Amino acid sequence: MGLIDIDDDKLQALYHRAWIESGRGFVDFRKYPYLEHALYQYARTNNCTLDEALILAKTGKKLF
């Protein structure tokens, strides 16, 4: 358990925030440090790849 635990809903909410900030276009997660940190933390705690965590953030579908 970390200081801030990232679950599925929180990850999707952070991606949505980045999507709004990008003008509802392409989201490069490296430009948004809060999203990048959340993706890495989610991937590490759930034993999945960064790509799978990003797909979950975008679509809400788990591939693992």
Q: How do residues 12-39 score in pLDDT, each as one tens digit?
A: 999 999 999 999 999 999 999 999 999 9
Give the range among 2-6, 33-37, 47-51 with minimum mean pLDDT: 2-6
d(CA 50, CA 61): 14
Model pTM score:
0.89
Residue 2 confidence (pLDDT): 60
**Three-state secondary structure of 3-31:** CCCCCHHHHHHHHHHHHHHCCCCCCCHHH
Provide CB contacts within 8 A for 16, sequence distance 6+: none
Q: Say if residues 15 and 35 touch (Cβ distance below 8 Å).
A: yes
